[in-house]
Amino acid sequence: MATTSDTQSDEMLSSGREEGGVEEEEIESRVGISYTLWQIRRDPTALAGLAIISVMTAIAVFAYIDAVIFDRLSDYAFFANMGVEQYWFANNYWVNPEHDPASVRSLLPPAWMENTFGQGTWDHPLGTDHRGRDILVRLFYGTRIAIQVGFISTAIGMVGGTLVGAVSGYYGGWIDDALMRAVETLYAIPFLVLVIAFMTAFGRDLTYAMIGVGITTIPVFARLIRSRVVSVREEDYVEAARAAGVRDRNIILRHVIPNSFAPVLVQATLQIGVSILIVAGLSFLGFGVQPPKPSWGQMLSQSRGYMLPNPWFSVWPGVAILITVVGFNLLGDGLRDALDPRVNN
Amino acid sequence: MLRYTVRRLLQAIPVLLGIVTITFLLTDAIPGDPVSIMLGPSPNAEQAAAIRAKYGLDRPLYVRYLNYVADVVQGDLGHSLYYGVPVTQKIAERMPVTLLLLVSSFTFAILTAVPLGVISAKRRNQPTDHVSRVVALIGVSTPSFWIGLLLIIVFSFHLNLLPATNLIMPWADPVNVDGAGSRLDVLVMAGEHLLMPTITLGTLQMAAITRIERSAMLEVLSEEYVKLARAYGVPEGTILRKHAFRNAQLPVITVVGLQLTAALGGAVLTETVFSINGMGRLIITAINNQDYELVMGTTLFFGLTFVIGVILTDLSYAYIDPRVTYGERE
């Protein structure tokens, strides 16, 4: 499948390769990532992406503090009929878990609407789910899972893929052949199927979901880095380092990888969005985060039984996923454009 | 051309062997004992031993692996413990449904994405371009199964226009289909049933292809020979059709091929949303019932579909771009 991988990489790396002279390449690699980051300051789409990611990350951090550090995981997950204001940490921290079941209002519509279960209320701005839990609050806590999954699984794939791709491209020969065939094999099994099989074998929880998605991401990064390394390998400074007796491992770590890193950063940004989508799909199928911990995919799965009485229950978690993934895609596109001076959108 | 085709097929062998190995090792690592599933929680020791011997479960891992590979090569994917039929039979039963879904969603994706991408590139930075870019961005950022849920809410529950479940195959016998009098009725009903799953599965592909089509067209349109053609006063439409379009299709085809792996995963979700009994639901059922050989067989099928798809992609380069030479340079 060499043809395919090369063409794809060419596409992704439309920068770099045709830049031409050694000096240009040198300058680009010197200023590399920081220069790229500096360039996106004038790109409204990239900034919008960055803003979305920042807000989502802030919500995730808040949810983490509230849920894990203050240990309220069980509160927000189990106890129905609490208004939004009661969830903010330090405010009404000791919620009395005893509530009057008659007052639980499940499947309420958003505040400004009315359905068979009654008029919406600003206590639950986006309505309630089938157990009377506030949808907005559960969305907030779902952010924690999504952001965590996106970053960690992409990090696993990036580190793994970078190592595999760098070794493969640097040594060439049979090592390259063997590693690339392995990478193609991983790529040939649909991500979702591979992760499901992986989780069935090792465990149905978030940790294995992240590891599984990380592993399925390896091929993307491995191919990207490899195509880059194959050209960096021939550069004079690598030649010089080799002549000076620098060990292969150090050449790869100090010269080859840093000089191939900018496109990896772009890919990683886009990949976080993809990982969030995959994990949402996993949770939807019942793999991934287990109830009562809220995750967006799982909320969508639960909403399937209530699409007729309260369709909004099925709308909001999807909106949350959409906004988050759009954020990463906008930033990734912005970074890619900044890296590639020929495309001036 | 023939030599190249044969070589591509040979190159696929290690990948397929790799898929068999990965799925074998993963299914072997699945906790739980198939024997206890067949005989209940507390099986009689003799019966258990008999079953182990019958299915070769008492032999060491590498022996089982070699046996399995030998069987697969001969086209025998083993026996489904849950359904009690050969795995190949179960796959043959479910495969047409999934293939139909894939073909219809890719047709939808290509037919909408290619014009959208070309128009977007042609009217760069004009309103049409912005709209198509926003559509593509949302398309690649939306979970496919959520699109399915929204479509069901709007078109099945509120407008009562389209059916949400019970997919009807276009080749089904009219006698077996409720409310269908003739072949035409069956075709119409199949179309109605397929519409929402097709959009659900095809949106991601559509968006990805639109994005690549646009950037590929923009790249080609900035080439020297296009500038030259413009300088000679060749009409813009002719440039687009004759000079740019064909040359821009190489990266597009690559992306179409690579999208196949995402689409196969998406098929699992789409089939779940619309309760379609295809390969995707089969693999979930197989995993939930610890039906090992069925899990391995379906995964192998998914891998094989992808490998065939990529080979077809590579071969279609030749059709699109006669300059592609087949490895003689390597």
Q: Over the stretch A78-130, which tens digit does the pLDDT of each residue have? A: 444 444 444 443 233 233 334 444 556 777 788 788 877 778 777 777 887 77
Picking from A191, A300, A330, the nearest residue to B261 by CB comes out as A191
Give the per-residue pLDDT at A26: 44
d(CA B114, CA A180): 31
Structural domains of chain B, count = 1
d(CA B148, CA B9): 36
Judging contacts by C-beta atoms under 8 Å, the chain B residues touching residue A4 are: 254, 257-258, 310, 313-314
Average pLDDT of span A229-233: 78
Is B198 an 8 Å CB contact of chain A?
Answer: no
The per-residue pLDDT for range A135-146, each reduced to its tens digit, is 887 888 888 888
Q: What is the CATH number of the domain that holds B251?
A: 1.10.3720.10
Question: Which residues in A298-314 are b (16+ Cβ under 10 Å) and which e?
Answer: bbbbbbbebbeebbbbb
Q: DSSP for B257-315? A: HHHHHHHHHHHHHHHHHTT--SHHHHHHHHHHTT-HHHHHHHHHHHHHHHHHHHHHHHH
CA A61 from centre of chain: 15
ipTM: 0.85
Share the mean pLDDT of chain B: 82
Contact predicate A124/A136, CB 8 Å: yes
Residue A8 has pLDDT above 50, yes or no: no
Task: Using alpha carbons, list the distances in angstroms from residue A315 to A67, A103, A204, A296.
Answer: 25, 25, 26, 11
Is B140 an 8 Å CB contact of chain A?
Answer: yes
Q: Which of A53, A200, A328 to mutate to test the interface with B (most CBs of B within 10 A)?
A: A200
Report CB contact under 8 Å: A318, B149.
yes
Residue B4 has pLDDT above 70, yes or no: yes
Judging contacts by C-beta atoms under 8 Å, the chain A residues touching residue B307 are: 188
Average pLDDT of span B300-313: 85
Contact predicate B178/B189, CB 8 Å: no
User: What pTM value is reported for the model?
Assistant: 0.83
Domains and CATH numbers, chain A: 42-119 (no CATH), 143-344 (1.10.3720.10)
The one-letter code for the residue type at A228 is: R
Average pLDDT of span A312-321: 92
| B18 part of a folded domain | no
Report CB contact under 8 Å: A3, B314.
yes
Share the mean pLDDT of chain A: 76
Please identify which residue in the block is written with the tokens 């039979």: B89
Report CB contact under 8 Å: B142, A185.
no
Q: Please report which residue ranges of chain B form alpha helices under DSSP H.
A: 2-29, 34-39, 45-54, 61-73, 87-122, 127-141, 144-151, 183-221, 224-231, 236-238, 246-273, 279-288, 292-320
pLDDT band with cut points at 50, 70 and 90 for residue A70: low
Give the per-residue pLDDT at A213: 92
Average pLDDT of span B11-31: 83
Contact predicate A144/A67, CB 8 Å: yes
| Phi, psi angles (nearest 5°) of residue B77 | -95, 10
B238: distance to nearest CA of chain A, Å?
A: 24
Give the per-residue pLDDT at A24: 44
Judging contacts by C-beta atoms under 8 Å, the chain B residues touching residue A180 are: none
Q: Please report which residue ranges of A65-134 form alpha helices under DSSP H.
A: 73-78
Q: Single out the residue of A145, A124, A117 nearest to residue A292, CA to CA.
A: A145
Contact predicate B144/B269, CB 8 Å: yes
Helices B87-122 and B246-273 pack at an angle, to 10 degrees, of 130
Is B27 an 8 Å CB contact of chain A?
Answer: yes
Report CB contact under 8 Å: A285, B22.
no
| B37 part of a folded domain | no
Is B201 an 8 Å CB contact of chain A?
Answer: no
| Phi, psi angles (nearest 5°) of residue A128 | -125, 160
Report CB contact under 8 Å: B141, A318.
no
Contact predicate B156/B164, CB 8 Å: yes
Judging contacts by C-beta atoms under 8 Å, the chain B residues touching residue A278 are: 265
Please identify which residue in the block is written with the tokens 């990982």: A275
d(CA A74, CA A294): 11
Hey, which residues 203-232 in chain B have their CB within 8 Å of chain A?
A: 212, 215-216, 218-219, 222
Angle A324-A329-A333 from CA coordinates, rounded to 5°: 155
Give the per-residue pLDDT at B301: 87
Residue B217 has pLDDT above 60, yes or no: yes
Conformational region of residue A179, where left means phi above 0, alpha means psi within -120 to 50, and beta covers everything else = alpha
Q: State both tokens at B313.
A: 């992609």
Give the per-residue pLDDT at A2: 38
Chain A residue with CA closest to B137: the answer is: A326
B142: distance to nearest CA of chain A, Å?
A: 5
Cα dihedral across residues B33, B34, B35, B36: positive or negative: positive
The per-residue pLDDT for range B149-190, each reduced to its tens digit, is 999 999 988 888 888 777 777 777 777 777 777 778 888 888
Q: Single out the residue of A260, A334, A343 nearest to residue A36, CA to CA.
A: A334
The one-letter code for the residue type at B41 is: P
Task: Say how many C-beta atoms besides its own lie within 10 A of residue A118's C-beta.
Answer: 11
Please identify which residue in the block is written with the tokens 């709308």: A315
- Percent pLDDT > 70 in chain B is 91
Residue A319 has pLDDT above 90, yes or no: yes
| B42 part of a folded domain | no
Report CB contact under 8 Å: B299, A189.
yes
Picking from A4, A201, A317, the nearest residue to B313 by CB comes out as A4
Report CB contact under 8 Å: A182, B264.
no
- Domain containing B203 equals 87-320
Residue A16 has pLDDT above 50, yes or no: no
A41: distance to nearest CA of chain B, Å?
A: 20
Q: State both tokens at B80.
A: 């489904």
Report CB contact under 8 Å: A185, B302.
no
Longest Cα–Cα distance in chain B:
87
d(CA A62, CA A84): 14
Three-state secondary structure call for residue A128: strand
The per-residue pLDDT for range A240-274, each reduced to its tens digit, is 888 888 887 788 788 777 777 778 888 899 999 99
| Phi, psi angles (nearest 5°) of residue B86 | -60, 145
Report CB contact under 8 Å: A285, B272.
yes
Is B146 an 8 Å CB contact of chain A?
Answer: yes
Please identify which residue in the block is written with the tokens 């505040």: A111
Least confident of A5-14, B36-45, B208-217: A5-14
Cis peptide before B174 (omega within 30 of 0): no
Chain A residue with CA closest to B298: the answer is: A193
Hey, which residues 248-307 in chain B have their CB within 8 Å of chain A?
A: 250-251, 254-255, 257-258, 261-262, 264-266, 268-269, 272-273, 283-284, 287, 295, 298-299, 302-303, 306-307
Task: Say how many C-beta atoms besides its own lie within 10 A of residue A178's C-beta.
Answer: 12
Question: Which residues in A121-134 are b (16+ Cβ under 10 Å) and which e?
Answer: eebbbbbbbeebbb
Residue A328 has pLDDT above 90, yes or no: yes
d(CA B306, CA B322): 25
d(CA A127, CA A113): 9
Task: Say how many C-beta atoms besides its own lie within 10 A of residue B202's C-beta.
Answer: 29
Q: Which of A5, A6, A7, A116 to mutate to test the interface with B (most CBs of B within 10 A)?
A: A7
Task: Say how many C-beta atoms besides its own lie within 10 A of residue B144's C-beta.
Answer: 27
Picking from B26, B268, B310, the nearest residue to A198 by CB comes out as B26
| Strand locations in chain A (E) | 114-115, 118-119
Chain B residue with CA closest to A300: the answer is: B146
The per-residue pLDDT for range A22-66, each reduced to its tens digit, is 444 444 444 556 666 777 777 888 889 999 999 999 988 887 776
User: How many CB pairs (< 8 A) connect A and B?
Assistant: 172
CA A191 from centre of chain: 14
| B151 part of a folded domain | yes
Please identify which residue in the block is written with the tokens 């008492």: B58
A333: distance to nearest CA of chain B, Å?
A: 10
Report CB contact under 8 Å: B265, A191.
yes
The per-residue pLDDT for range B100-125, each reduced to its tens digit, is 999 999 999 999 998 898 888 888 88
Please identify which residue in the block is written with the tokens 């959108």: A345
| Phi, psi angles (nearest 5°) of residue A118 | 125, 180
pLDDT band with cut points at 50, 70 and 90 for residue A322: very high
B38: distance to nearest CA of chain A, Å?
A: 19
Judging contacts by C-beta atoms under 8 Å, the chain A residues touching residue B22 are: 185-186, 189, 194
Report CB contact under 8 Å: A322, B141.
yes
Chain B residue with CA closest to A190: the answer is: B261
d(CA A238, CA B208): 37
Our CA dihedral for A61, A63, A67, A68, rounded to 10 degrees, sits at -10
| B7 part of a folded domain | no
Report CB contact under 8 Å: A196, B287.
yes
Q: State both tokens at A139.
A: 């969305």
| B140 part of a folded domain | yes
A37: distance to nearest CA of chain B, Å?
A: 22
Residue A68 has pLDDT above 70, yes or no: no
